[in-house]
Structures are given as structure tokens and as C-alpha cells.
């Protein structure tokens, strides 16, 4: 190996930080882009099927939109505690972070309960026709994201109540909050597509 001369000392640099400084933030962004692309293509496929079928929906009635609307309202409302969790994580305020994470976990469970009910209100089965298939697919795709984020949140909440609840874990809380924004944001187009395109 070649001779070396030290020209810069990085000893004083921190070992963790928040936001774009961390590699994890970029990784999360990368997976959001991948999943966002998946959503976009699923939406494109849905619209393609709308386009090739002279009639839409291929069912007697559009789905009951109330459960979906409830999910939308709760998701939008969850932006506040989510933001608080993110903010308090950056402040490294452990009690506050614990509180907000518990609230976010609870919200997640409520959402999943409503989501299960939502499937029963679509008024079409997935194996009935392409409309049913596409609708179930979109809804299931988004449900998967709520479930995975909830699992992540619950584990993180548990973690914050153990001795690990310090240091770099605060950056993880921030990341988790970041991902939740994506879950909320992706529901808006899905919601319009599932409930309002068939009424249009």
C-alpha cells in the first residue's frame, strides 16, 4: 500500500445526524421512489382498463366511499402527530417521542381496522371482473404500506421504551415519520381513483 499523508482530520465530525445527512434518509427515499413508481404504474394500469372498457365501473354501483373517506381524514389528521414525532425526535425529547409514537401506533391500528371494513364495501369481488381486480389491487397495495409502516412504528415504539431509546434511534424515528408522509400522500390519488373515478 502506498505511503500516505494525512491532510484532514475528521475526528470532530458527529456520528449521527438527521435528514439528508444520513445514508438511511436516502435509502428510505429510494424505497419511497420504488414504491411510488409501483403505485404510479398500478394507477396507470387502472386508468388503462378504464380506457379500454366502454363502461366503468363494471359493476352495478360504485363502492361505498365512506370508509375510504374516513381513512383519508384520519391519514390527513395523522400528519400532525407524525410531524410532532419527527420534530421531537430531532430535539431528542424522549418522553415526547414516546408519546407521539404510541399515538401513531394507535392510529395505525384504527386505520387497519377501517381498511378491512373498506374491502367489504367495494361492492365488487376481485374475481368478478377486471374492474374488481384493479380496485382490490390498488386498495391492497396501499393496505400493505399501512401494515408495514405500522409494524415499523410498533417496533420503534417498543425500542424507544428500552435502553436503546437514544442517539441514532432518534434518527430512525425521523425516518419512520418521513415514510408515513409517503403513505399519506399516496392515498390521495388512490382514494380518488377507487372511489371517485367510478362515480364520474
Per CB under 8 A, does 60 bind another protein?
no
The Cα–Cα gap between 93 and 84 comes to 11
The Cα–Cα gap between 101 and 83 comes to 11
Minimum distance of another protein from residue 158's CB (angstroms): 9
Per CB under 8 A, does 131 bind another protein?
yes
Looking at 78-86, 157-165, 175-183, 186-194, which segment touches another protein (CB under 8 A)? Answer: 157-165
Per CB under 8 A, does 38 bind another protein?
yes
Looking at 95-103, 156-164, 173-181, 186-194, which segment touches another protein (CB under 8 A)? Answer: 156-164
The Cα–Cα gap between 6 and 8 comes to 6
- 3-state secondary structure string across 33-75: HHHHHHHHHHHHHHHHHHHHCCCCCCCCCCCCCHHHHHHHHHH
Q: What are phi and psi of 162, to 5 degrees?
A: -100, -175
Out of 19, 31, 61, 109, name the contact with another protein by CB under 8 A. 31
Q: Which three cell numbers stand for residue 56?
A: 366503468
Per CB under 8 A, does 42 bind another protein?
yes
Q: What are phi and psi of 190, to 5 degrees?
A: -60, -45
Q: Total residues contacting another protein (rule CB under 8 A)?
A: 59
Out of 73, 116, 168, 188, name the contact with another protein by CB under 8 A. 168
Q: Is the Cα torsion angle 131, 31, 117, 84 positive or negative in sign?
A: negative
What x-and-dash track marks residues 91-130 binding another protein by CB under 8 A?
-----------------------------------xxxxx
Per CB under 8 A, does 155 bind another protein?
yes
Per CB under 8 A, does 11 bind another protein?
yes
Question: CB burial class (10 A; 0-12, 13-18, 19+) of residue 107?
Answer: buried
The Cα–Cα gap between 113 and 108 comes to 9
Q: Which residues bind another protein (CB under 8 A)?
A: 1-17, 20-23, 26-27, 30-31, 33-35, 37-38, 41-42, 45, 48-49, 52-53, 58, 126-134, 136-137, 151, 155, 159, 163-164, 166-169, 171
Amino acid at each position: 500500500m502506498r505511503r500516505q499523508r494525512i491532510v484532514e482530520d475528521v475526528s470532530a465530525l458527529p456520528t449521527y445526524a438527521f435528514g439528508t445527512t444520513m445514508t438511511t434518509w436516502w435509502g428510505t427515499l429510494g424505497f419511497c421512489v420504488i414504491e411510488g413508481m409501483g403505485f404510479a404504474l398500478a394507477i396507470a394500469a387502472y386508468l388503462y382498463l378504464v380506457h379500454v372498457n366502454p363502461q366503468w365501473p363494471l359493476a352495478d354501483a360504485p363502492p361505498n366511499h365512506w370508509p375510504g373517506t374516513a381513512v383519508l381524514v384520519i391519514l390527513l389528521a395523522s400528519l400532525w402527530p407524525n410531524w410532532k414525532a419527527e420534530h421531537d425526535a430531532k430535539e431528542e425529547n424522549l418522553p415526547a417521542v414516546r408519546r407521539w409514537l404510541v399515538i401513531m401506533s394507535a392510529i395505525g391500528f384504527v386505520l387497519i381496522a377501517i381498511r378491512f371494513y373498506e374491502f367489504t364495501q367495494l361492492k365488487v369481488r376481485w374475481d368478478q371482473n377486471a374492474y374488481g381486480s384493479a380496485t382490490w389491487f390498488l386498495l391492497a397495495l396501499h393496505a400493505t404500506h399501512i401494515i408495514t409502516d405500522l409494524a415499523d412504528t410498533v417496533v420503534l415504539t417498543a425500542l424507544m421504551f428500552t435502553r436503546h431509546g437514544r442517539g441514532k434511534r432518534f434518527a430512525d424515528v425521523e425516518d419512520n415519520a418521513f415514510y408515513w408522509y409517503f403513505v399519506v400522500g399516496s392515498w390521495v390519488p388512490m382514494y380518488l381513483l377507487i372511489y371517485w373515478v367510478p362515480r364520474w
